[in-house]
Structures are given as C-alpha cells and as structure tokens.
Structure 1
Amino acid sequence: MTDVLDRIRAAALLLPEVEERVSHGQPTFFVAGKQFAQFRDNHHGEGRTVVCVRTSGADEQAMLIDAAPETYSRPAYLGPAGWVSMNVAAADVDWTLVEDRIARSWELAAPGRLLEAGGR
C-alpha cells in the first residue's frame, strides 16, 4: 500500500503549511496543528485501506455514506466528529475525488488567514 500512501501524501503535501506526523500509529496530516487527513491500512485489523477526511458535519457525513457506501464509511474514533473514511484499496479508485476530498478537508481545518490568502 506504499503507492496508495504516496498518492495521499502527495495530495496533502501540495496544500499550504501541511505537516505530516504519526498520530495513533497512523500517517496523519495537519494544518496549523489541526488534523485534516489520516491514512489507515488495516487499522485495528479491520482489513481496509482508507483515508479519513473531515466533512462539514453529520449531515454531509450521512449524505456521502448513503450516496456511495462502497466509497465512504464512518471511521472509528473520528466518525463521531463527522469524518468519513474513503476506500482507497479498490481497483477503480477515483483519485480526483480523493484529492478533492483531502483538499476540502484541509479547507475545513485551515485557519482563516490561509483561506483569505487564497487557500489551495
């Protein structure tokens, strides 16, 4: 899954002021100290490879999961805060969608000064 992590890392690190560090044993991406994406490969033996990203809240989370349950699910620990996990192990991953959701998650976590400066 190194190639999958490399793609996620590349998408996240293109965004302004992103820092990658390990959080809870997982590669995690932060902007201004706030987490906005986390890569999970077989997290707690669940057998899935996903990237977890923020949504605007419970309504958007539910809408995404209902609309595309093969792509989106509610991640352990982050789900109650409105996050979704995106399946990135399928053969037909829509990488444009994954990159867009990572960028949108960054926007939800980034401080106003970055958004005012033009964001991504």
Structure 2
Amino acid sequence: MTPMPRQIRRVRKPSVWFELAHRAAGSLPGVEERITATGPEFRIGPKLLAWLDEDGVSLLVHIGADERGMLTEAEPRTFSDAVGRRGRTAMRVHLAYVDVGSLKRILEQSWRERAPKRLQRLACAP
C-alpha cells in the first residue's frame, strides 16, 4: 500500500494593505505577530486576535456578535461574517476598503475581549 501524499498548504502572502493591520495591532500591548504555515497572525499570549485570510487582502478578527453585526450592516463592502478557526464566527475586514481608524478600533475591541485583566490594567495605568 502506498502512503498518501501530504496535502500541501499554500502559504498566504500578505498584501500591501496588510501593513495597516501590522501597524494597528503592533501598537497594542502584549500583541505578537507570528508567521505560521498558513500566514501571519496576531496573538495575545495563547489567544488568537486576528489573522490574514486565504485571499491575502482580508483580515479575520474575533470580535463580539453585537459589534460584528453593527459593522457588517453599516458597511457590507468592508465587513462581513466569516467562519473562523474551530468553526467560530469571525469578522472579515477587507483591508483595501477599511480606514485606519476603524481598523485600529476593531483590533482594540478584540484586544479588550481577549487580553488578560492584568495586562488591561497595565495598559490603562498612567
């Protein structure tokens, strides 16, 4: 019996717009960018904050359902629902259409939902 060949995953290359996400996420305390076999992702400790989608021009962000619903309804060209890792719902942010301020607010919201309380207190301290 011959062994099955391993499925080769295509590595996602970031688009020029990914630099916006890189700067926005890099300004948040404790966020690390990691390069994985499937592309770049932003983590806060072991928790996944956001990652580059397979299309290379969208960022998938874990964010609360209320915020996600409001944004997808207000700007459907820029924001949409997507199935994230492990079947959880994430929000797709099309990086070519999003403005820098909105992207930063979305990543900050996701950070507040996932960052440990001690890190949040340190970030808020004067």
Tell me if TM exceeds 0.5. Answer: yes
Q: Which has the higher helix share?
A: 1
**Matched AA of 1:69:** P
Structure 1 runs not aligned, ≥5 long:
44-48
Normalised to the residue count of structure 1, the TM-score between the two structures is 0.77
Q: How many angstroms apart in 2 are the aligned matches of 1:119 and 1:85?
A: 28
Structure 2 runs not aligned, ≥5 long:
1-13
Cα deviations by residue, 1:43-90 (Å, 9 ceiling, x for unpaired): 6xxxxx211112223x33222212221111112335953421111123
For the aligned residues, what is the CA RMSD? 2.4
What is the aligned-residue identity percentage?
27
Q: How many angstroms apart in 2 are the aligned matches of 1:26 and 1:12?
A: 16
Q: Is the counterpart of residue 72 in structure 1 residue 79 in structure 2?
A: yes
Q: How many angstroms apart in 1 are the aligned matches of 2:35 and 2:124?
A: 24
Cα deviations by residue, 1:7-59 (Å, 9 ceiling, x for unpaired): 2111111111111113460210000210111122516xxxxx211112223x3
Q: How many angstroms apart in 2 are the aligned matches of 1:111 and 1:37?
A: 16
Q: Indicate the residue corresponding to 1:96 in structure 2.
A: 101
Give aligned pairs, total.
112
Deviating more after overlay: 79-88 vs 22-31: 79-88
Normalised to the residue count of structure 2, the TM-score between the two structures is 0.74
Q: How many angstroms apart in 1 are the aligned matches of 2:87 and 2:67?
A: 13
Runs of 4+ aligned residues of structure 1 deviating over 6 Å after TM superposition are none
2:30 to 6, 17, 21: 17
